[in-house]
């Protein structure tokens, strides 16, 4: 996995998640916006104690190790940001982005990546409107979810309608823009993966999880209990 720190005027794509485990959908999302935005770096942000989800099953160390394996073949510099893991309290994206903005400076374009399902719940996030003061959003569709504004909560649709921009515009704008990508035809659930690993069902988990990650899961006996 390549490493590197972009300069303060660069574009940095940020992909957060529980990564419990990381799967091919996460890799595809990072690769999609890598092509669209051509960022100087992709920053992976494993959650510590995500306030809207159940307790994590894999340890922090295992989740980081699986991320390193999953993104080892990335064509752009990738770093793993552990600031949320290091917090002792539930993590909120707005706090993380504040810290990231302070670190990277006012000129950097920070693009926070998410799926359409997360966009549909954006108005439940803490200080969700403040996100646009700190970063841009890169949102990708997935089967069963739409990026049509009329299908979103009215407040979210209103906020987004004036912020839609092309990938080129987002790449050179520090914050406040939204790039929508309709081309990610991947629908993978970490919950589904954990259930298949726990029950030993016939579902082909290898189609959902990078080979190196599945090998790690099996070698370390993860998600069996």
Q: Report if residue 204 sits inside a domain.
A: no
How many domains in the chain? 1
Convert the pLDDT of each residue in 139-167 to its tens digit. 998 776 767 888 889 999 999 999 999 99
With 0.85 as the threshold, say if the pTM is over it.
yes
Q: For residue 191, what pLDDT is reported?
A: 87
Whether 135 maps to a domain, the answer reads yes
Look at residue 2 and give its three-state secondary structure: coil
pLDDT band for 65, please (50, 70, 90 cuts). very high
What's the burial of 87, exposed, middle or buried (CB within 10 Å: 0-12/13-18/19+)? Answer: middle
Evaluate whether residue 209 is within a structural domain: no
Domain ranges, residue 96:
11-188
Average pLDDT over residues 211-222: 95
Domain presence at residue 74: yes
CATH number at 110 reads: 3.40.50.620
In the predicted model, is pLDDT for residue 28 greater than 60? Answer: yes
SS3 62: helix
CA 27 to chain centroid: 9
Residue 168 neighbours by CB under 8 Å, 6+ apart: none
Q: Is 200 within the bounds of a domain?
A: no
Q: Round to the nearest angstrom and report the end-to-end CA distance of the chain.
A: 31
**Cα(205)–Cα(23) distance, integer angstroms:** 10
Average pLDDT, the chain: 90
Of 183 and 68, the structure prediction assigns the larger pLDDT to 68
Please tell me the predicted confidence (pLDDT) of residue 54: 67
Instruction: Assess contact for 168 and 125: CB atoms under 8 A.
Output: no
Q: Examine residue 193 and state whether it is found in any structural domain, yes or no.
A: no
| Residue 3 binned pLDDT confidence (cut-offs 50, 70, 90) | very low
């Amino acid at each position: 996995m390549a490493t590197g720190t972009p300069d303060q005027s660069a574009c940095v794509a940020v992909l957060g998640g529980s990564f419990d485990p990381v799967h091919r959908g996460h890799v595809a999302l990072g690769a999609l916006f890598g092509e669209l935005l051509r960022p100087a770096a992709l920053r992976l942000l494993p959650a510590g104690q995500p306030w809207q989800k159940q307790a994590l099953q894999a340890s922090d160390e295992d989740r980081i190790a699986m991320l390193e394996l999953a993104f080892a073949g990335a064509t752009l510099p990738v770093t793993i940001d552990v600031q949320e893991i290091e917090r002792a309290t539930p993590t909120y994206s707005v706090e993380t982005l504040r810290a990231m903005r302070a670190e990277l400076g006012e000129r950097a374009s920070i693009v926070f990546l998410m799926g359409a399902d997360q966009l549909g719940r954006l108005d439940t996030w803490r200080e969700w409107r403040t996100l646009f003061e700190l970063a841009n959003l890169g949102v990708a569709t997935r089967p069963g979810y739409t990026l049509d504004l009329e299908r979103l909560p009215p407040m979210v649709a209103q906020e987004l309608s004036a912020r839609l921009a092309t990938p080129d515009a987002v790449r050179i704008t520090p914050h406040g823009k939204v790039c929508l990508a309709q081309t990610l035809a991947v629908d993978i659930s970490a919950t589904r993966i954990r259930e298949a690993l726990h029950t030993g069902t016939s579902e082909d988990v290898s189609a959902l999880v990078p080979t190196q990650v599945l090998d790690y899961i099996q070698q370390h006996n993860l998600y069996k209990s």
